[in-house]
Amino acid sequence: MNNFEQYRRRFLGGALATAGAAMVPGLMLVEMAHSRAPEEPVSSRNRWGLLIDTTKCATGCTECVTACNTENGLSGKTGPQDSQWIRKVELTHKKTGAQHSLPVMCQHCEEPPCVDVCPTGASFKRDDGIVLVDRHICIGCRYCMMACPYKARSLVHEDLNDTQLAHMPRGKGCVESCTLCVHKIDAGENTTACAEACPEQAILFGDLNDAGSEIARRLATYASKEIRADLGLNTGVRYTGI
Amino acid sequence: MLASWLKTVALAALVALSPLATAAGSAGVPEPVIQKGKGDQCVEDTEYMRKNHMKVLKQHRDKTVHEGIRTKQYSLKNCIECHATPNEKGELSVLGKDNFCQSCHTYAAVKVDCFQCHSSKPAGNGAMHPIVSTRSGPGEKTAAGMRHHLSGKSPSLNSTLSVKDIAGVIK
For B50-85, what is each residue's pLDDT tens digit?
999 999 999 999 999 999 999 999 999 999 999 999
Q: In whole angstroms, what is the distance from residue A118 CA to residue A139 CA? A: 10
pLDDT for the residue B10: 53
3-state secondary structure A93-148: CCCCCCEEEEEEECCCCCCCHHHHHCCCCCEEECCCCCEEECCCCCCCCCHHHHHC
Q: Is the pLDDT of residue A14 over 90?
A: no
User: Is the Cβ of A174 closer than 8 Å to some Cβ of chain B?
Assistant: yes
Q: Is the pLDDT of residue A17 over 60?
A: no
Provide the whole-model pTM: 0.74
User: Is the Cβ of A162 closer than 8 Å to some Cβ of chain B?
Assistant: yes
Give contacts of A182 with chain B, Cβ < 8 Å: 68
pLDDT for the residue A3: 66
pLDDT for the residue B146: 38
Q: Which range (A150-159, A192-201, B46-55, B138-147) has the least confidence?
A: B138-147
Model confidence band, residue B6 (pLDDT cutoffs 50, 70, 90): low
Yes or no: say if A156 and A170 are a contact pair by the CB < 8 Å rule: yes
pLDDT for the residue B28: 76
Yes or no: say if B111 and B148 are a contact pair by the CB < 8 Å rule: no
Q: For residue A235, give how far its alpha carbon lies from the nearest alpha carbon of chain B (Å).
A: 20
CB-neighbour burial class of residue A12 (10 A; exposed 0-12, middle 13-18, buried 19+): exposed
Mean pLDDT along residues A175-183: 97
Average pLDDT, whole number, for chain B? 72
* Residue % of chain B over a pLDDT of 70: 56
- Measured between CB atoms, which of A41, A134, A165 is closest to B69? A41
Q: From the CA atom positions of chain B, what is the Rg in Å? A: 22
Q: Is the pLDDT of residue A142 over 90?
A: yes
Across the interface, whether the CB atoms of B121 and A166 are under 8 A apart is answered: yes
Q: For residue A3, give how far its alpha carbon lies from the nearest alpha carbon of chain B (Å).
A: 54
pLDDT for the residue A1: 54
Q: Is the pLDDT of residue A225 over 80?
A: yes
pLDDT for the residue A53: 97
pLDDT for the residue B38: 87
Model confidence band, residue A104 (pLDDT cutoffs 50, 70, 90): very high
Q: Is the pLDDT of residue B147 over 50?
A: no
* Residue % of chain B over a pLDDT of 90: 44
Mean pLDDT along residues A139-167: 96
Residue type, A182: V
Q: pLDDT tens, A56-88?
A: 999 999 999 999 999 999 999 999 999 999 999
Mean pLDDT along residues A174-199: 96
Q: For residue B40, give how far its alpha carbon lies from the nearest alpha carbon of chain A (Å).
A: 24
Q: Quick one: closest CA in B to A130, which residue?
A: B66
- Measured between CB atoms, which of A39, A136, A162 is closest to B119? A162
Q: Is the pLDDT of residue B161 over 50?
A: no
Overall size of chain A counted in residues: 242
pLDDT for the residue B39: 85
- Measured between CB atoms, which of B69, B72, B119 is closest to A166? B119
Mean pLDDT along residues A144-165: 96
Q: In whole angstroms, what is the distance from residue A182 CA to residue A193 CA? A: 11
